[in-house]
Structure formats: structure tokens, C-alpha cells
């Protein structure tokens, strides 16, 4: 493949498109509402068929089987080996309508199955070790090749795999348990968009990158009485330093062949701290829980894109005065703000082995109007959930359904229009030792 240059980052409206391409791709102000499944922003929280059916409630639920994610300190509430594994199948759709109604588009049909896994083993009555594997941040969004906003985004995908070992300790007969853990996070990102150079000529751009990051977790579980429980769960911020490749197609044999250069690019994505407090009340047949979460999305304030090849001297698109000897750096402002989420769930046991569950959540968007984009047209959203389960001997199965609906108008010049997002999520888990 011939070299194709990146100097359009330095001038013209087209260069702003490329700037936005790389920044959005690595920084992922996105959702694929592969996510509406996610908490506001692009955080994934549907890691348990039980918690998903309860509106995401799990911090103070002593019966929550994926305690590695929702509250590792609650591992001390269970006896023997515990294993819990499953997935939440996400079926998202974004539809777009231009301000005058003349243009309409929607995302390509997709079925996304992020997995989850939990294992815990007690070494003594007080000391428990466990490990969880989840995808805490992620998204996939893909529009049709010819949609009107393809210069902003055509396709993007972010995956993070979080390996989370934990240890928990129960302090005598106080009802209090504490936990500490670590996070080893593997991240990958891909992004595609189309640069329309003229009516009959388009250049496709693709980037991909990988990263590894580290973080920590801490949790508290307190059960002062048989019926009442409290929980506090903290998952630290971490930084994904992406190194990737930029590749262009479609400029061969045109005057733009020396304007786009395949090259290395890098950036750092600052992901937030997340803390959740919860309270639960349980009787023989009923459980009611409330979780309040807070995510420091203000960590995600800007993205700096570093390129590895300088603007070629005399190349079309280079501004007068641009330093031709050093690779350019572009900065994209995000300026997200911290956002809370409120979750309420209830369970009723029809029989000792057969519970039914319902829940609701209100998730506030951290994205300001001036920076919202088609890659993540998220807004405050209400969520409703329902589910059931069944236990026999030491085995359990859980099934959940979540419906997410939201809409947002974009009026900042990033493909203005009205966006409707819907997502159906189906959580399926199997467990042993419960």
C-alpha cells in the first residue's frame, strides 16, 4: 500500500474531520449502544442475570452471585466454592433523522454478547479469595456505508477485558466484611470513517490500537441484622495508553495520494473512578434493594492524539507556518462531567427455588451538548427490567431482560439531527455452589 499522508489534520474542514476521527476512535466518546446496556457514558454494568433483573442493584445484596464485580466483600456471605458464568446479549439500534426530515439512517443490526465470570473460594470461615472477568467499558456502533454522517463516524468498537482478583475478610461476629482487589485491563479499539474529498471521491480511514492498564478495587459489606445489609464498592480509575495504526484507502491514483500517510498513532484514554453505595432489606420471601452510583466522568476531559510522521513539506493541506519537522499533535475536547445513577430492585420468591425480579434505574448522561456526537448520542435515560431464576441443589440459573430507551438532538454541527436509541438486553447466567 502506498504512503498516504495525514496533513489534512493541519488545515481545512476535512482536516477537522480527521482530527475528530482519531480522537473519537481512541477516546471513545462512544457507545454503541451496544450499550444502552451501559451506564451513562460507555460503562458496562450488566454483569449478572440477577443484578440486571433488579435494575442493576447488587451492592448490598448478600445473594448476588457475581460479587467479584458488585461487591467483593460480600463473598464472605457464601459457603464453599462459588462459580458464576454467563453473558448479557445486547441488541441495540440507533436511528437518525436530519433537522428537516430529508435524511434518515440507522445503525446496522447487531447482537453483542459480552461475557462475565466469577469464582470465589473460602480458605477459612473468615477469609475468601476470588476472581472476576468482565467487560467494564465497551461499545460497538456501525452505520451503513452511505449514511450522511459517515465523515463523523462509520464504525467503531471498544473492548476492555478486566481481570479482577479479590480477597475478602470477615471480622468476627461483627457482620462487617472488607475486601481489596486489583484490576488488569486489556483494551482494544477500532474506528472507521469516510472522508469525502469531492462528490465523486471518498477516502476510507481505519485505525486500530491496543493497551494494557492497571487499577484497584475496595469494598465493604455490613449486615447488622438478619434482614438489613449495607454495601460500598469502589473501582478505581485507570489509563489506557493506546498504540495503533492509521490506514487509508481510496486515494490511489489521485492528487491526494501524497496527502495521506499510513502511520502509527497513539493516545491515552482516562477512564473514571466509580463508587456505588447500596442498602438491602430481605425477609424469607422478599428482597428490596437500592443502589446509588457515582462515576467521575470529568476524568475524561480531553484527548491528545500524537502522530508519528510529520507533515510533508509542500503537501496540499499544510498550513503556512506549520512545523514540518515534527509530527503533529491534535487535542479534542470532551469536557464530560461527573454523573450519578439510581437503581431500585425487588425480588419475590414464589417458592424457595423460584424467585421473580423487577427493577428500574435512572442514569444521568455525562456528555455536554457541545460535545455530543453520533458515536454516542446518549442522554439521561430510564431503564426497566424484569427476570427470574431457579435453584436446585447447588446449581442456579438466572434470566433477565432490560429495556433502554433514550433520545437526543444534536445541534453542535457534529451531524445535527434527532437520534433515537433503543436496546434490548437479555442476561443469562449459570452458577454452582449457591
Separation of alpha carbons 256 and 14, rounded Å: 12
Q: Which residue has the higher pLDDT, 14 or 79?
A: 79
- Rounded mean pLDDT of 322-333? 57
Cβ within 8 Å of residue 118, ≥6 positions away: 65, 66, 67, 68, 69, 82, 83, 84, 85, 130, 131, 132
State residue 9's pLDDT score: 31
Angle 286-292-297 (CA atoms, 0-180°, nearest 5)?
150
Q: How many C-beta atoms surround the C-beta of residue 392 within 10 A?
A: 8
Separation of alpha carbons 426 and 184, rounded Å: 27
Cβ–Cβ under 8 Å, residues 235 and 203: no
Mapped onto helix, strand or coil, the DSSP state of residue 99 is: coil
Q: Which three cell numbers stand for residue 152?
A: 463523523
Q: How many C-beta atoms surround the C-beta of residue 130 within 10 A?
A: 23
The size of the chain, in residues, is 434
Cβ–Cβ under 8 Å, residues 36 and 92: yes
Cβ–Cβ under 8 Å, residues 322 and 286: no
Distance, CA of 176 to chain centre? 31
Q: How many C-beta atoms surround the C-beta of residue 129 within 10 A?
A: 16
**Mean pLDDT rounded to a whole number for the chain:** 84
All domains in the chain, ordered by first residue = 7-432 (2.40.160.60)
At 43, the pLDDT band (50, 70, 90 cuts) reads confident
Q: Which residue has the higher pLDDT, 212 or 24?
A: 212
Concatenated DSSP letters for 2-48?
-----GGGGSHHHHHHHHHHHHHHHH-----SS-TTEETTTEE----
Q: Which residue has the higher pLDDT, 138 or 37?
A: 138
- Rounded mean pLDDT of 116-141? 93
At 35, the pLDDT band (50, 70, 90 cuts) reads very low
Question: In this predicted model, what pLDDT tens digit does every residue of 173-204 receive, in sequence order?
Answer: 999 999 999 999 999 988 888 888 777 778 88
119 forms bridges with which residues in the sheet? Answer: 83, 131
pLDDT of residue 328 exceeding 90, the answer is no
Q: How many CA atoms lie within 13 A of 380 on its CB side?
A: 8
- Rounded mean pLDDT of 200-225? 92
Q: Which three cell numbers stand for residue 388?
A: 427470574
Separation of alpha carbons 221 and 128, rounded Å: 13
pLDDT of residue 2 exceeding 50, the answer is no
State residue 237's pLDDT score: 92
Mapped onto helix, strand or coil, the DSSP state of residue 52 is: helix
Separation of alpha carbons 123 and 182, rounded Å: 19
Distance, CA of 336 to chain centre? 15
State residue 326's pLDDT score: 54
Mapped onto helix, strand or coil, the DSSP state of residue 111 is: coil
DSSP class of residue 69 equals H
Q: How many C-beta atoms surround the C-beta of residue 284 within 10 A?
A: 7
Concatenated DSSP letters for 253-305?
TSTTTTT---EEEEEEEEEPPEEEEEEEEE-SSEEEEEEEEEE-GGG--EEEE
Ramachandran angles phi, psi of 113, nearest 5°: -115, 65
Q: Which of 75, 39, 296, 293 is nearest to 180 (CA)?
A: 75
At 32, the pLDDT band (50, 70, 90 cuts) reads very low
Q: Which of 334, 413, 322, 252 is nearest to 9 (CA)?
A: 322
Cβ within 8 Å of residue 253, ≥6 positions away: none
Amino acid at each position: 500500500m502506498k504512503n498516504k499522508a495525514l496533513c489534512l489534520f493541519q488545515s481545512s474542514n476535512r482536516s477537522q474531520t480527521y482530527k475528530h476521527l482519531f480522537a473519537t476512535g481512541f477516546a471513545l466518546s462512544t457507545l454503541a449502544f451496544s450499550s444502552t446496556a451501559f451506564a451513562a457514558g460507555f460503562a458496562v454494568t450488566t454483569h449478572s442475570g440477577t443484578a440486571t433483573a433488579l435494575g442493576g442493584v447488587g451492592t448490598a445484596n448478600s445473594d448476588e452471585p457475581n460479587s467479584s464485580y458488585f461487591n467483593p466483600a460480600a463473598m464472605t456471605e457464601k459457603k464453599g466454592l462459588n462459580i458464576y458464568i454467563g453473558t448479557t446479549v445486547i441488541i441495540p439500534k440507533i436511528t437518525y433523522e436530519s433537522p428537516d426530515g430529508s435524511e434518515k439512517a440507522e445503525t446496522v443490526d447487531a447482537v453483542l454478547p459480552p461475557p462475565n465470570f466469577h469464582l470465589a473460594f473460602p480458605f477459612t470461615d473468615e477469609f475468601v479469595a476470588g476472581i472476576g472477568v468482565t467487560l467494564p467499558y465497551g461499545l460497538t456502533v456501525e452505520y451503513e456505508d452511505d449514511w450522511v454522517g459517515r465523515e463523523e463516524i462509520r464504525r467503531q468498537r471498544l473492548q476492555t477485558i478486566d481481570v479482577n482478583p479479590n480477597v475478602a475478610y470477615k471480622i468476627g461476629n461483627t457482620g462487617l466484611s472488607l475486601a481489596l482487589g486489583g484490576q488488569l485491563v486489556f483494551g482494544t479499539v477500532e474506528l472507521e470513517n469516510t472522508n469525502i474529498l469531492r462528490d465523486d471521491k471518498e477516502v476510507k480511514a481505519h485505525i486500530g490500537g491496543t493497551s494494557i492498564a492497571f487499577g484497584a478495587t475496595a469494598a465493604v459489606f455490613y449486615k447488622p441484622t438478619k434482614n438489613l445489609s449495607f454495601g460500598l464498592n469502589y473501582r478505581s480509575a485507570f489509563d489506557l495508553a493506546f498504540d495503533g495504526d492509521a490506514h487509508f484507502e481510496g486515494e490511489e491514483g489521485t492528487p491526494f495520494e501524497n496527502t495521506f500517510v499510513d502511520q502509527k498513532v497513539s493516545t491515552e484514554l482516562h477512564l473514571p473512578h466509580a463508587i456505588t453505595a447500596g442498602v438491602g432489606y430481605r425477609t424469607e420471601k422478599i428482597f428490596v434493594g437500592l443502589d446509588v452510583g457515582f462515576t467521575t466522568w470529568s476524568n475524561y476531559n480531553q484527548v491528545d492524539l500524537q502522530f508519528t510522521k510529520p507533515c510533508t513539506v509542500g503537501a496540499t493541506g499544510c498550513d503556512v507556518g506549520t512545523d514540518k519537522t515534527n509530527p503533529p499533535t491534535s487535542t479534542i475536547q470532551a469536557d464530560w462531567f461527573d454523573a450519578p445513577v439510581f437503581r431500585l430492585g425487588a425480588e419475590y420468591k414464589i417458592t424457595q427455588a423460584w424467585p421473580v425480579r423487577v427493577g428500574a434505574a435512572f442514569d444521568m448522561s455525562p456528555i455536554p451538548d457541545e460535545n455530543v456526537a453520533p458515536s454516542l448520542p446518549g442522554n439521561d435515560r430510564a431503564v426497566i427490567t424484569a427476570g427470574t431464576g431457579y435453584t436446585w441443589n447447588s446449581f442456579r440459573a438466572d434470566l433477565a431482560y432490560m429495556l433502554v430507551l433514550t433520545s437526543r438532538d444534536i445541534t453542535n454541527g457534529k451531524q445535527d439531527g434527532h437520534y433515537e436509541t433503543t436496546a434490548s438486553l437479555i442476561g443469562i447466567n449459570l452458577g454452582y455452589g449457591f
